[in-house]
Chains A and B, each alone.
Chain A
Amino acid sequence: MLKIESLSKSYDKGKSFALRDVSFQLGEGDVFAIVGESGSGKTTLIRLIAGLETPDTGTIEINEKLVSSIKKNVAAEKRNIGFVFQEYALFPHLKLEENILYGISKLKNKKQRAKEVLELVGLSEMKDRYPHQLSGGQQQRVALARALAPNPSLLILDEPFSNLDAMLRAQLRNEIFRIIKQSGVTAIFVTHDTQDALAVADEILILQNGKLVQKDAAANLYTKPSSVYVASLFGNTIQLSKELQSAFECPLKTDCCHAIRNENIAINDECDYVTNATVLKKTFLGSGTQLLIKLDNGEHLTVVTKHTHIDERITIGFNSKDVLEFKE
């Protein structure tokens, strides 16, 4: 449904690239997450898809129709893409219902449609309020309803949860994606929070410095990250350097890079590879304890453990199935 080929965008005439040679395809009906740090190009990517920016090179096709290329640009208002902005961008001088009617003024049964989407987001009784009379979570749901009202072929959400506090976040996240699934629309959302992405996305795209580094299902990203960077996005990892490999006596391929996730490190437990170590320093973190460890061959390591009673001398190890392998 969405096909992107070698898309690039630079804001400074080629000195640096916000987006560099990105290609991918998305299928119908799923929820996709675009994950990256700030400056990774994720906002540029969705603005290009929506037609709010024009690419320097590359093509975008929506439903097999070319909408962006170096020679052609279909205007944002003609793309039929729903967009939920980070700061919601509700029209402050219009009531809720008017906000929603705005995009469907040409529809015959527009009042009926507005009622439907307001019911979908559970705000029917507030239709005569102004945006500033709503809470942040409510504004977000209105923005979603407004974007869904014209039945867009694609829905884009820009950092949908970044303006909400942690308590509200998880609740609203599930609520929003229940609504999206219910409406059956293909959705792309942008986030810097991998937890959000893992929780709701069918497939995740990872951007780093304007390049697409991996596109995979959530479970695969976690177990088979394509690079150290991707692995580190989903939790702390420990790189298995040559010295560490020899300490644990684990023979690994030499033309690859390896790492192990912190949570897969076992302390005082049976494992495939084990070594002895001395605890130098313990820092209580609340949910666990951070240990600074010196392996017997002199290597230093930092790990977090749930164990509460740690002696000075411990054994530390991991299983071979948990070793992450990257081609670098």
Chain B
Amino acid sequence: MVMSQTKSSLGHAQPVGIESAVSVRNVSKNYDKVEALKDLSLEFPRGELTSLLGPSGCGKTTLLKIIAGLLEPTSGEIEVNGVKVTGPGPDRAFVFQDFALLPWANVIRNVSFGLELRGVAKSEREDIAEKYIRNVGLAGFEKSYPHELSGGMRQRVGLARALSVDAQVLLLDEPFSAVDEQTRRKFQEDLLALVQNENKTFIFVTHSIEEAVYVSDQIAILLPRPSRVSEIIRPSSFRGKGVDNIRRDPEYLDIVDEIWASLRSYVE
């Protein structure tokens, strides 16, 4: 689906025929004298999942936080749906690596907290929260507290909170890195379903090559010091073949190998 009310940013480097939800233009970020990001430009197609992948210290989380409006770029600009980003906004929602739940609040309050901050009435926001708690598979845990949940369940709460504010762009900062391997696989499958059903734009930071290739429509490889986009990969053939077949698809395996080959020299 193409949203009609948004200005498309055609004319920038991007795959033909796909409109950008988020555009990053010539963004640099310096910490004192250290260049974290240098003149980085990237387009995020609407309704797709784009991964930011790179070795640690390549500035992928910095870029995500700049898109979120949590950090200011030193130069350059971000546009979300054609509007310049000046700070956090209701068009973007963030999923945190360490979940960032309120430990004194139960699941339903945590999930509805974004709506609470926006001044939505209690009964209305709890109705919405309940719907997303069911969606992420936590029905029955509405009254539980975060310390009573496993890591995977806590991240489901974080995901439900981000979904319930109905932002067009979801920013995920290594969301599955703090959960165990099996939970992580389940999450990846659920994420694919989510991208299909929710019609939102996902920006996904990860350091796992397999994870990036598995879930992404587009993978941006970032190389460090200073960080820049070295390559954009768009897997094409295995996306429609079902979650069970992706990991043995030849293209999947080739892309994983190819990415490792280009990253290998940057990993000490």
Asked if A and B bind, the verdict is no
